[in-house]
Structure 1
Amino acid sequence: MAQLLIRQLPDEVKEGLRERARASGRSMEAEARAILTDFIFPTNEVSLEYDGPQDATTLFERYGVKILPSRPEGGVVSFEETQALIDEFA
């Protein structure tokens, strides 16, 4: 198998990779491999397997989506907007 070295990776990208890896229970290296593989060979399938009670934030983080409880300009994200995101992945 080949190896890849990525130089000058922005700190915020590395931290985002670390968060995604933690949320998916993988190492950063395994998460980067999964991201690259999914990008090069997309399946266009989303599996929402139920694995016990969890809050919506955990479920979204598994797929790399972050939901903010409010907008920077003020106001709360509505149920309809949240549902639209869920429908987009279903």
Structure 2
Amino acid sequence: MLTYYAVYRSADKNEPAAGIFIMDVAHGHALVWNHRSGAWLYDPGAALRFLDDYRNFDRYEEVEEGAARVLAERITGGAMPGEDHVRARFESGR
């Protein structure tokens, strides 16, 4: 099961989300939108470090897939990868 997280610049969630994670928590996989490279990167370490850091607990929230798709389009300027693509990336580790 995939889980989607909206990431905010600060604890003030009234601001628009600035990032998004797509995760398979049970298997330790994650795609992270990297705004610097303008690409989805397979980086479970970065996602877990961010989510597990107590200083960030107020800077993210789990969102439904539909909301994640809307956020991804706004944040990335393109469509969020589909589940088949995400699973293939998870299996390849890239």
TM range (shorter): under 0.3
Query: Computing the radius of gyration over CA atoms, which structure comes out larger, 1 or 2?
Result: 1
Structure with greater contact order relative to length (CA < 8 Å, sep ≥ 6): 2
- The TM-score, its normalising length taken from structure 1, stands at 0.24
Higher strand share: 2
Higher helix share: 1
